[in-house]
Structure 1
Amino acid sequence: MKKLIGKLMLKLLGWKIVLEGDVNNLNRCILVVAPHTANEEYLLGNFAYWALEKPLKIIIKDAHTKAWYGGIVKALGGIGIDRSQKNDLVNFVANEFKKEDFSLVITPEGTRSWVPKWRKGFYHMALAAKVPIVVAAGDFKDKIIYLGKKISVEELENRSFEDIMEELEQYYQKITPKVPANWNPKIY
């Protein structure tokens, strides 16, 4: 049912999915989603994953999983985290990947507002969990959801952090965000 809903919603909204790698790259990865400038990106990403029948999870404030609508948030892949306390998210994520396969959405900007640089947690999560980083982006100019470009575990272990960030920065140059004023293309 999700597959049908995902395909239908993307079609009605005028969006298409462009796979930039094997669709199976989406089975087990840290999914780096950028630019993150609007809430619609979350819905579009869910619709894309539903259309492709792939498992998707997202770390979210636990207030959303504990609220009256928390069951819906959890059903949509929400994993509640208490952000008032210091959490070891890197090891938490690594342990979650030991339990099951899924794509974990990470928006390295950490907010929908302009930021001077990305947070680095996604990189450390991928290394600790021994899963690839897969790149995702929603181009609001052309209404295209790009998915599937993979940076393998071997690349993560053998290339420098700076080299990987430079590759990601170059990749996102082609993307037009929903709110361009909230996007800093210089990510590190």
Structure 2
Amino acid sequence: MKKLLGKLILKTIGWKVVLQGDANVLNRCILVVAPHTHNSEYILGNLAYWSLGRPLKIIIKDAHTKAWYGSVVKGLGGIGIDRSQKNDLINFVAKQFEKEDFSLVITPEGTRSWVPKWRKGFYHMALAAKVPIVLAAGDFKRKTMYLGYTIPYEKIASVPYEEIMKEIEEYYIKYDIVPKIPANWNPDIIGEKG
């Protein structure tokens, strides 16, 4: 049902999904979504994943999974985290991947506002869970969701962090992604130029 709904809504609003790799990798990965400048980018990303029939999860405040609407949040892939407690989020994520296969959405900017560089948590999660990093981007100029560019776990585990980040940065520059709010996007994700 979600697959049909995702395809129908995207078609209705004039968006398309460009798959940039093997769809099977979307079953088990850290899904890096950028730019993250507006909540609509998350909604479009969810619809893209639905249209491909893939399992998607996101880490959110556990208040949302425990609220009266919690079953809906969990049904949409929400994994609740108690942010008031000190959590070992990297190992928590690795343990979740031991239980089941899914794509975990991470927005390394950490906010919808402009940031000087990305946070490193997604990289450490991929290492701990032994899963690939897959890139996704919503381009509002072209009304296109790009999805599937993959950095295999073996590469993540064998080359320096800086090389992985440079490859990711080059990806977003190459496709000249235009987010919902361009002023909130910094394509210098490493923070070397600013």
Letter in 2 for 1:17: V
Matched residue count: 188
Q: Distance in 1 between matches of 2:110 and 2:67?
A: 22
Which residue in the other structure is 1:2 paired with? 2
Which runs of no fewer than 5 residues in structure 2 stay unpaired? none
Q: Distance in 2 between matches of 1:70 and 1:156?
A: 35
Q: How does 1:136-175 map to 2 (within 5 A)?
A: 136-173=136-173, 174-175=176-177
TM superposition shift of 1:85: 1.7
Match of 1:117, SS state, is: coil
Q: How does 1:98-113 map to 2 (within 5 A)?
A: 98-113=98-113
Match of 2:111, SS state, is: coil
- Is 1:77 aligned to residue 77 of structure 2? yes
Letter in 1 for 2:153: V
Q: How does 1:1-188 map to 2 (within 5 A)?
A: 1-173=1-173, 174-188=176-190
Q: Which runs of 4+ in 1 moved over 4 A?
A: none
Instruction: Give deviations 1:94-125, integer Å, cap 9, x for gaps.
Output: 00000000000000011111111111000000
Q: Distance in 2 between matches of 1:147 and 1:35?
A: 13
Q: Distance in 2 between matches of 1:81 and 1:35?
A: 23
RMSD: 0.8
Match of 1:111, SS state, is: coil
Letter in 2 for 1:183: W
Letter in 1 for 2:157: E
Instruction: Give deviations 1:68-116, integer Å, cap 9, x for gaps.
Output: 2221111100001111221101000000000000000000011111111
Q: TM-score, normalised by structure 1?
A: 0.98
Which runs of no fewer than 5 residues in structure 1 stay unpaired? none
Match of 1:21, SS state, is: coil
TM superposition shift of 1:185: 1.1
